[in-house]
Structure 1
Amino acid sequence: MTLSYDHVAGDGPAVVLLHAGVCDRRMWDPQWPALSAAGYRLVRCDLRGFGATPAPDRPHNDAEDVRDLLDALGIERAVLVASSFGGRVALEVAARWPERVGSMVLLSPAVDGHEPSAALRAFGAREDELLEAGDVAAAVELNVDTWVGPEADETTRDAVHRMQRHAFDVQLAVTEEFGRIRHEADLSAVTAPTVVLSGAHDVADFRLMAAELPGRLKDARHVELPWAGHLPSMERPAEVTDLLLGLLREAAPAGA
């Protein structure tokens, strides 16, 4: 299966953008023009069941889907920039195929093996309850209220609302659900230098996962953004774009 994606061809370093589970590839709209203008070969995709990619029709593995997309585009090595659930996918790609990942920037990443707090379990239970009752609108509002930080304006909240509603509609429309094939990432195998960004206003579980990652990776550092919630690239897009450009120029300068 081919993931739906956008691709800016060129000779610059390849940068792959992986979206959060509450969004799709449109979450990177604010960063896309600036990163392209800086000379990077950009790829952003919708994982299965998000955006323009259909829901799974068989058991699947998201990391393998990303690897297959890189293969199809002839990209041997890339920088991964990933948000939330996309961060979990990026870590798996970097662990299973370390030679394919030059460096990573992870924004509020999910990490395999994390034991969710009572608060996060309560969120999941409430989401399940609303969806089982057919109240998709309330489930969307629950996600927007939980994952969008205080710096986001109404335009950003509306964008997350549309992406989450679309994902629910796609995923709930299938008559048969197919699970993910899980390969828990062996973080000791990750060789890519990594910068982990988190938000001081994020859900506590994600702040903890971000803070702990440098102790589990060979070459990583953690930066907490004091203003951010769970989706900093959407909450203060211009500031995060500048931050990403600085990190990319450090890790994989275009034109080098």
Structure 2
Amino acid sequence: MGQIDFDDKNGLYYQWTPPTQEDAPSFVFFNALTGDHEAWEAYIGPECRKAGNGTLVFNYRGQTGSPFSTDLRLDDTLIAADTLRLLEVIQPPRAILVGLSIGGLFAARVVLGGFQAAGLVLINTLRRDGPRLKWLGDALVRVAQVGGLELLRDLYLPLLMNEDWMEANRNSFLVETGYTGLDPETGAYKLLSEAGRLSNWALPYEDLHLPTRVITGLQDHVFYNEPDVAALAARITRAKRVDMPQAGHLIPGERPAELADLLIQFAQEV
């Protein structure tokens, strides 16, 4: 583990493990907004390393262990620029960028910013910009203002996760302890209100020329819209879709073994 410091108030926490097999790729994992690197390290990262691949996990400014200045706007432009600086330091060989949810947007922006990746994996990323997406972004922030991440999870997880996960985890939510709104100066709030609402989703998908996997959980009832996913995926010249009927939005926590297998197979193909 380590930290790259940009100045005395800003930096990125990361964990880097080089490949152990000759010519094996390195996975670079991009988090969702409300999680951190542990979403990958619980299962996916260790399995990828067992197969000889390298792994780089890191947290955006505002996430666990990554300090930030409160006057900065934590949006997609900043996150992509930060990642490019981290990749310049680490230089992971044959990097495959793997993004969960909006993390895929950040990963795509890193590629469009000039990073030569061996592959790209977009997990429940593709969505059409428009009034619905903007409303969702505003609503997530309003929920966080009223009841913090606890209320956000209680309201949205039944729409985001698959039913097997909900049955197994229901007792951990809707607890009788009340809710507290997020402090507007916390990293979690700033990421939701800035990256979550202000990021530019109008990507030039035609400029992504690298091998790409578009992984979609069909039980995601918030962000998944089949016509939009199909139309956007068709604009990526080397994209291949993988649909997961038994998964929702947060696939690393719902179907970790299946996702790890897909990533390891992709690493063997690029």
- Give the TM-score, by structure 2 length: 0.75
Quickly say closer, same or farther: Cα 1:92–1:170, change in 2 above 3 A. farther
Could you tell me which amino acid in structure 2 is paired with residue 196 of structure 1?
V
Could you tell me which amino acid in structure 1 is paired with residue 46 of structure 2?
P
Farther-moved stretch of structure 1 (45-54 vs 82-91): 45-54
Q: Give 1:194 shift.
A: 0.5
Matched ranges for 1:35-114 at <5 A = 35-57=48-70, 58-60=72-74, 61-75=78-92, 77-97=94-114, 99-111=115-127, 114=129
Q: Give 1:240 shift.
A: 1.6
Post-superposition Cα deviations, 1:35-86, rounded to whole Å, max 9, x if no partner, equal 0111112101111222322345423511111111100113365111111011
Q: Distance in 2 between matches of 1:202 and 1:227?
A: 10
2:155 match: 142
Question: Aligned pair count?
Answer: 240
Are the aligned partners of 1:15 and 1:80 in contact in 2 as well (CA < 8 Å)?
Answer: yes
Structure 2 residue 35 is the aligned partner of structure 1 residue 23: yes
**Secondary structure at the residue paired with 1:66?**
helix
Could you tell me which amino acid in structure 2 is paired with residue 71 of structure 1?
E
Quickly say closer, same or farther: Cα 1:145–1:56, change in 2 above 3 A. farther
CA RMSD of aligned residues (A): 3.2
Q: Distance in 2 between matches of 1:96 and 1:48?
A: 19
Are the aligned partners of 2:121 and 2:213 in contact in 1 as well (CA < 8 Å)?
Answer: yes
Q: Give 1:169 shift.
A: 5.5
1:165 match: none
Q: Distance in 2 between matches of 1:44 and 1:169?
A: 26
Q: Distance in 1 between matches of 2:142 and 2:190?
A: 18
Q: Distance in 2 between matches of 1:42 and 1:225?
A: 24
Matched ranges for 1:95-174 at <5 A = 95-97=112-114, 99-111=115-127, 114-117=129-132, 123-134=136-147, 136-152=149-165, 172-173=185-186
Q: Distance in 2 between matches of 1:186 and 1:53?
A: 29
Farther-moved stretch of structure 1 (29-38 vs 126-135): 126-135
Are the aligned partners of 1:22 and 1:160 in contact in 2 as well (CA < 8 Å)?
Answer: no
2:266 match: 247
1:254 match: none
Q: Distance in 1 between matches of 2:44 and 2:204?
A: 30
Q: Distance in 2 between matches of 1:59 and 1:76?
A: 31
**Identical pairs, percent:** 25
Q: Give 1:135 shift.
A: 5.2
Structure 2 residue 218 is the aligned partner of structure 1 residue 200: yes
Q: Using CA pairs below 8 Å that are at least 6 residues apart, which structure has the higher relative contact order? A: 1
Are the aligned partners of 1:197 and 1:224 in contact in 2 as well (CA < 8 Å)?
Answer: yes
Farther-moved stretch of structure 1 (138-147 vs 83-92): 138-147
2:238 match: 219
Farther-moved stretch of structure 1 (201-210 vs 228-237): 201-210
Are the aligned partners of 2:146 and 2:182 in contact in 1 as well (CA < 8 Å)?
Answer: no
1:5 match: 14
Unpaired runs of 5+ in structure 1? 162-167, 252-256
Q: Distance in 1 between matches of 2:18 and 2:172?
A: 27
Post-superposition Cα deviations, 1:119-161, rounded to whole Å, max 9, x if no partner, equal x556544433333335553223223333222232677779999
Q: Give 1:172 shift.
A: 4.6
Are the aligned partners of 2:25 and 2:267 in contact in 1 as well (CA < 8 Å)?
Answer: no
Q: Give 1:87 shift.
A: 0.6
**Secondary structure at the residue paired with 2:141?**
helix
Could you tell me which amino acid in structure 2 is paired with residue 89 of structure 1?
F
Q: Give 1:224 shift.
A: 1.4
**Secondary structure at the residue paired with 1:53?**
coil
